[in-house]
Amino acid sequence: MGQTLLDQLRDMTTVVADTGDLQAIEQFTPQDATTNPSLITAAAQMPQYQEIVDATLLKARKDAGPAISDKDVATLAFNRLAVAFGLKILEIVPGRVSTEVDARLSYDTERTIATARDLIAQYEAAGVSRERVLIKIASTWEGIKAAEVLEKEGIHCNLTLLFGLHQAIACAEAGVTLISPFVGRILDWYKQETGKEYGPAEDPGVQSVTEIYNYYKKFSYATEVMGASFRNIGEIQELAGCDLLTISPKLLAQLDATEATLERKLAPEKAAAMDIEKISMDKATFDRMHQADPMASTKLDEGIKGFSKALESLEKILTERLCQRLEGELFVNHAAQDLFRAYDMDGDGFITREEWLGTDAVFDALDADHDGKVTPEEISAGLGGGFQLV
């Protein structure tokens, strides 16, 4: 019996689970794991995680005091819930967990720094070294500058929502530990703009990550590249050899079920032999390159809005749950309806991938019939439960 693609991939690339579902992490035994508000929203609604959610909410309510509104308590509870799931994940994975700073702070350097310090303080109070945590920050200029300060304090950062070489260069020069370029979202933009279909080797997202990887290795930057947001396993195969790849449970399962030879496509020695021009990066250059790249500027803006919307939905769910828990009532989960109304932007009765804007792994799990649209029925039937691999 031959090796699966997943087994071979692990020999050349660090595999990271893109999920908040602890059972999926246990199933695929990745080195690291990453979470964000939309993943936590899904996981928080699974029955097996209700105890974590309730304990975190009630503790936040107690610590905040009676003068604070339930909505503000829910906002406080988000960071604590992110750390609570992170601590559970670290009981399973041998490596690191990425924990995200509120996306609404993406253009606020000082508040991003303060939030990151608070997250690290929570992990350290729970006995977890900061070496096992990556603080996830959007790749705006302000976010990159925040990461530069944090890295000097020994707080390691994962810069996300990265779509362009200018963002990658700025991150490397800031001494960031890790970047997460979004392969699938780049592909989505080009397909929508051109109407073309792309094979894995011609995939614009694959080409973008390949360019960034080769640039980093050519100029010996220590920053690691973690490809993210995949649409199919062909993209993953084309990036075999990348430092890390963060993969949804659905695609991990496909890799684990496929036996074929996996060729290493990315390697430091290949990059070292390439003729690549070095670019000096400052804010003016960053802004100029960002404005000249409509894909990167559009997808960064969309991503921040999507993650912010997911966080607002999670806070609404937590507020409702807190109110009902404190009143001693049975918790009735209206989260599916709330999420549907939030994401069905044009009111046509279904959510497209473009409307969703949140994490691809959650959209894929909800889209039960894989038609690219999520209906109210799919939301009700699948949110949380559909995200769990059985």
Are 360 and 42 spatial neighbours (Cβ–Cβ below 8 Å)?
A: no
Our answer to whether residue 136 is catalytic in this structure is yes
Q: Which of 136, 218, 250, 316 is catalytic?
A: 136
Which residues have a catalytic role annotated?
136
